[in-house]
Amino acid sequence: MALLDILSYPDKFLTKKAKPVTNIDGAIQKTIDDMIETMYNAPGIGLASIQIGCDKSIIVYDLSYGENEGSLQVFLNPKIIETCGETVSENEGCLSVPDFRSDVKRSASVIIEALDREGKPLKIEAKEYHAIVLQHEIDHLNGILFINRVSALKRELYKRHIKKQIKQDDK
């Protein structure tokens, strides 16, 4: 297994849409394993393929940060097929958006369809925090960062902060 670099805003790749995985081969299994290791190492609660520069549709997440065996999830080609209600995720953050946290409006529950890493189709209903994580990670596969879901003012302030930082790094 290998640790992968996590792309961060404003990397253009983060705005790309992932393509469906059509052939679950050894290369895909290796990417999945590397993503899992990279997520735990960060540490993060979830990681989407787009964040590590791969445009195949894959997400991995573990709501327990690796504390509970069996809570690791790997989904290929996940799609939200139904949403219900509204909630606000408090202090949402993202490995690709450093130094920024914000409340984000999200659906309260979602039903998703996906394949597991063996290619078996599955359908799950997720609520509350689980639903928020799924929406966040599936957004990545559609080229959407959570800063696209906060107020224009907050986003502008963050963009300025990042621009300043890039200038400082160039010095």
Least gap, CB of 76 to Ni ion (angstroms): 18
Least gap, CB of 40 to Ni ion (angstroms): 15
Q: Which stretch binds Ni ion (CB under 5 A): 11-19, 64-72, 93-101, 119-127?
A: 93-101
Interatomic CA distance for residues 75 and 155, integer angstroms:
29
The amino acid that residue 120 corresponds to is K
Q: Which stretch binds Ni ion (CB under 5 A): 67-75, 88-96, 102-110, 111-119?
A: 88-96
> Active-site residue among 37, 67, 125, 137?
137
Q: Does 141 bind Ni ion (CB under 5 A)?
A: no
| Nearer Cβ to Ni ion (114/149) | 149
For 63, 107, 111, 134, 135, the CA distances from 126, given in Å and listed in that order, are 12, 10, 6, 8, 10
Supply 81's token pair: 């097929």
Residue pair 113/121 in contact (Cβ under 8 Å)? The answer is: yes
Residue pair 37/48 in contact (Cβ under 8 Å)? The answer is: no
- Count of chain residues binding Ni ion (CB under 5 A): 1
Which residue has 């080609």 as its token pair?
77
Q: Does 126 bind Ni ion (CB under 5 A)?
A: no
Interatomic CA distance for residues 138 and 51, integer angstroms:
11
Kindly tell me which residue out of 28, 52, 58, 94 binds Ni ion, with binding defined by CB under 5 A: 94
| Nearer Cβ to Ni ion (28/61) | 61
The catalytic residue positions are: 137
Residues forming contacts to Ni ion in the complex (CB under 5 A) are 94
